[in-house]
Amino acid sequence: MPVASLNDSEFDAAVAAGVCVVDFWATWCGPCRMMAPIFESVAAEMADRPVKFFRVDVDEAPASAGRFGVQSIPTLLVLKDGAEVDVSVGVTPPAKLRKMVEAALS
């Protein structure tokens, strides 16, 4: 499954069940543009695993970003059944992102 974009109205239903990784980003954010190919690559690598990858533009979904206290971007949030289990702020290396996902899946 490719990385899907979410807005505020879709967010809760999309992350309600299972393990989800959400990349909070913005089009004007340089580090976010650096994070995007890493996020897409890890999502593709883990396509056979029971995890969903989403991107949320903080300018288009301010309520979702605010609810999780996102103040700096990029922020990666790992959710399990809608609850936060891990977070990483800034450009996250692929190995760290994989480790975050594996921990949530175990």
The H-assigned helical ranges of 1-106 are: 8-15, 30-45, 62-67, 94-105
Is residue 29 part of the annotated active site? The answer reads yes
Given 14, 29, 35, 101, the catalytic residue: 29
Given 32, 46, 61, 101, the catalytic residue: 32
Strand order in the sheet with 19-25: 4-5, 51-57, 19-25, 75-80, 83-89
Is residue 20 part of the annotated active site? The answer reads no
* Catalytic annotation, residues: 29, 32
